[in-house]
Amino acid sequence: MTDHHNVPSEIPPAIAIIDPKRSDSRYPFNELAGVGVSYKLLQALTITLKSENKVESFLDLVALGTVADMVSLLGENRYLVKRGIEALQKTKRVGIKELAKCAGIPVSAIDTDVISWVLAPRLNAAGRLDHAGIGLKLLSTDSVEEARNLANSLESKNSERQRLTEVLITKAREQMTGDGVDSPLIMVGGHDFHSGVVGVVAGKLAEEFYRPAVVFEQGSEWTKGSARSVPQVSIIDALGDCGDILHRYGGHPMAAGFTIATDKLSELRMRLTERITEQMDLFKIQPHISIDAEVHLSELEGNTFKMIQQLAPFGSANPYPTFLARDIIVDDCKCVGNTGDHLKFKLNDGKTKWDGIAFKMGRFMKDVGPRIDIVFNLQINEWRGRAALQLNIIDFVPSN
């Protein structure tokens, strides 16, 4: 996260300042994550010192950190992550092996999705609830026993992080009901909101209600907050307009964090609401899905998935290709998951049959008709050692 108070005049004297985002930087790519900057520094030192070149042995960590940091997977990031995932799938780091094993994922199946949804949340859980040093120990240890113990500890902390997140989301919804749900800004928090998970909570609220969300842990003197936004509103610009009352802040258009004197919270709420109201019209701004092509399901057989994978790695700014298929026959649909959160489909288009999964859409079971139009992408479903191609359904409506 970039600290917007660290303007060049405030940077202390140094032999070198390594920051590709500086306006005077001559490096041709300015979207490197922190781990990417560290890797390039190590590369330069290896060349300058003419030491044995083992820098590529760190590419697995570069991929892990780059995807976890949610930077765009374009340009040099795409290259580093592609090479890094190849390294991860063959990694000799016992910590990564044990972390994946604990989550029930073979290292050979690690990709950007596994990093985003499985590995990164577990590594981050330590820093959110305890101390990030646990993750560092896991990634650096050579002891299988220590790695197993640390991985189990991270698994427990991640479960606690998930539980705490759900508790705080419930509290946030209760506050929203009290404050009114028509405001263009969601701003909730309190003394019992844990600063380690306020960013996760803000992200879920912004996604659910499709408007900027600020969640904060209120202290007696200082309050720490985290903000998440929607594409139509730059949250960092909105915070920048309030910079005179913020102690510090930083981030980018979709995500930011800040610290403010607690007695300034009300003013911040008022000014952010005014700023965001100028940027968005709640009646016009709606979530949307960009569709790359309309297809027949029978066209997706053969080498289609293999061809799509040539565009990988997928992630921020390089999403999976998204398709639309109309008038699909629903042979079967049922709720799955521990609490019935997901929908599992058996579909056909009259020529081919497909399995489909719609995550977090169990509540829409009543909307499933005998024929539906679906928006989806292709994915591999790994289950009990078997891999099968399926449709990852993003949205659906009954066919006309």
**pLDDT tens figures, 318-329:** 999 999 999 999
CA distance 73 to 177: 38
Extended strands (E) in the chain: 186-190, 213-218, 222-228, 246-252, 255-261, 293-294, 323-336, 342-348, 353-358, 371-383, 386-398
Tell me which residue of 366, 373, 354 sits closest to 304, measured CA to CA. 354
pLDDT at 44 over 60: yes
- pTM attached to this predicted model: 0.83
Give the CA distances from residue 203 to residues 36, 180, 259, in Å, rounded to whole numbers and listed in that order. 25, 19, 18
Cis status of the peptide bond prior to 287, with omega within 30 of 0: no
Render pLDDT for 356-394 as a digit per residue (tens, 0 to 9). Answer: 999 999 999 999 999 999 999 999 887 666 778 899 999
Residue 70 has pLDDT above 80, yes or no: yes
Strands 293-294 and 353-358: unpaired
Predicted pLDDT at 254: 87
Confidence grade of residue 18 (pLDDT, cut at 50, 70, 90): confident
Domain with CATH 2.40.50.460 in the chain: 293-398
pLDDT value at residue 282:
55
* Residue limits of CATH 3.10.310.30 in the chain: 182-279
| pLDDT above 90: residue 279 | no
* Two structure tokens written together for 68: 């976890």
Cα–Cα distance, 380 to 391 (Å, whole number) = 9
Question: 347 φ, ψ to 5°?
Answer: -125, 155
Amino acid at 339: T
Is pLDDT above 70 for 223?
A: yes
Q: Give the mean model confidence (pLDDT) for residues 204-215.
A: 92
Q: What's the CATH class of domain 293-398?
A: mainly beta
Residue type, 71: V
- CATH tag, 182-279: 3.10.310.30
Instruction: Give the pLDDT mean for 337-343.
Output: 92
Backbone angles phi, psi at 229, to 5 degrees: -135, -175
Mean pLDDT score across all residues of the chain: 90
| Of residues 72, 164, 159, 64, the one with CA closest to residue 120 | 64
Cβ pair 231, 278 in contact under 8 A? no
User: What's the alpha-carbon Rg for the chain, to the nearest Å?
Assistant: 23
What is the per-residue burial (b if ≥16 Cβ within 10 Å, else e) of 285-295?
A: beeeeeeeeeb
Which CATH topology does 15-161 take?
Answer: inorganic pyrophosphatase (n-terminal core) (3.90.1640)
**CATH 3.90.1640.30 domain locations along the chain:** 15-161
> In angstroms, what CA-CA distances link 289 with 286, 322, 377?
10, 9, 12
Tell me the average pLDDT across 178-206: 88
Which of 8-17, 94-103, 110-119 has the least mean pLDDT?
Answer: 8-17
Q: Say yes or no to pLDDT of 315 above 60.
A: yes
